[in-house]
């Protein structure tokens, strides 16, 4: 995608620069070492910190927050940063909790980022299910985001959000053309629930990308926390075995300030 720049800051947190906009996804900036509760007897320890501190990022025009109730997607320092963002887009329940004019979307709802001198961006919320069937009351609502802007050539920029592979997320490539996907991975598991997983496995990611056929695949949210059961090696193996050269479309963004796509 021309004019698109993505910098991986850590976990799900990226800086997306396009059309004059500087958009932050799922801000997480706490230092490593702390254990966070995820509710219902589950928890996870953060092992690695961000590649950039908030004051190194510069001004932010908008935050796309897939959900506000898990610390690996919004931690204490990330929450403090929200007050500096002119626009925050998240789930409906998350917007009610955050207040401050946050925009809440349900799946397939749309809103726009529009400002003089910048390309208009249409943001469409996409379905997520953050766990196995019937887990939504426990895991809470999550959304992904599909971004389309003026003069976009090939398709949307899709942020999957924390989700497993299910009917709702499979609808995305049927309803829109995906050019670049920011793929939330990690196959999250907790000892309390055994083999059940709460985010995409490597095999599910291959199946989803086979459906979506993106030109560029950017893996994120696969490292730095104890609740991830699959990391980069598992993802690389799965994509290397995928047909049609799918693995050649993977773009790993190293976690250093100078590295971006």
Q: Which residue bears the tokens 């249409």?
A: 122
Mean pLDDT of 18-27: 96
Region 137-145: mean pLDDT is 95
Average pLDDT over all residues of the chain = 94
- Give the model's pLDDT for residue 51: 95
The pLDDT confidence band at residue 2, using thresholds 50, 70 and 90, is low
Other Cβ atoms closer than 10 A to 38: 19
Residue with the larger pLDDT of the pair 244 and 27:
27
Q: Is 261's pLDDT higher than 90?
A: no
Cβ–Cβ < 8 Å for 172, 158: yes
**pTM exceeds 0.85:** yes
pLDDT bucket at 259, cuts 50 / 70 / 90: very low
Flag whether pLDDT at 258 surpasses 70. no
- Give the tens place of pLDDT for each residue, 165-201: 999 999 999 999 999 999 999 999 999 899 999 999 9
- Residue 216 phi, psi dihedral angles, 5° rounding: -135, 130
Q: Looking at per-residue confidence, does 73 or 255 come out higher? A: 73
* pLDDT class of 56 with cuts at 50, 70, 90: very high
Q: What is the pLDDT of residue 154?
A: 82
Cα gap 88→234, rounded to integer Å: 33
Alpha carbon distance 251, 59 (integer Å): 26
Q: Is the pLDDT of residue 49 over 70?
A: yes
Residue 68 has pLDDT above 50, yes or no: yes
Average pLDDT over residues 210-234: 97
pLDDT at 1 over 70: no
Q: Give me the domains of the chain, ranges plus CATH numbers.
A: 5-249 (3.60.15.10)
Q: By three-state DSSP, how is residue 63 classified?
A: strand
pLDDT at 152: 78
């Amino acid at each position: 995608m021309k004019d698109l720049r993505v910098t991986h800051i850590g976990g799900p947190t990226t800086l997306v620069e396009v059309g004059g906009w500087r958009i932050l996804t799922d801000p997480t900036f706490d230092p490593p070492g702390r254990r966070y509760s995820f509710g219902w007897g589950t928890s996870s320890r953060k092992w690695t910190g961000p590649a950039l501190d908030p004051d190194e990022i510069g001004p932010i025009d908008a935050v796309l927050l897939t959900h506000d109730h898990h610390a690996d997607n919004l931690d204490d320092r990330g929450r403090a940063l929200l007050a500096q963002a002119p626009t925050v887009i998240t789930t409906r329940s998350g917007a009610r909790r955050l207040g401050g004019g946050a925009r809440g979307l349900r799946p397939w709802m749309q809103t726009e980022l529009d400002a003089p001198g910048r390309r208009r961006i249409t943001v469409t919320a996409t379905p997520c299910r953050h766990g196995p069937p019937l887990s939504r009351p426990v895991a809470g609502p999550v959304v992904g985001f599909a971004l389309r802007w003026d003069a976009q050539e090939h398709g949307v920029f899709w942020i999957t959000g924390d989700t497993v592979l299910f009917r709702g997320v499979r609808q995305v490539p049927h309803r829109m053309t995906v050019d670049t996907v920011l793929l939330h991975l990690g196959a999250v598991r907790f000892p309390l629930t055994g083999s059940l997983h709460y985010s995409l496995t490597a095999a599910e990611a291959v199946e989803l990308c086979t459906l979506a056929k993106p030109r560029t695949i950017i893996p994120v949210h696969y490292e730095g926390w104890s609740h991830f059961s699959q990391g980069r090696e598992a993802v690389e193996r799965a994509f290397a075995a995928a047909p049609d050269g799918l693995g050649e479309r993977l773009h790993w963004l190293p976690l250093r300030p100078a590295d971006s796509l």
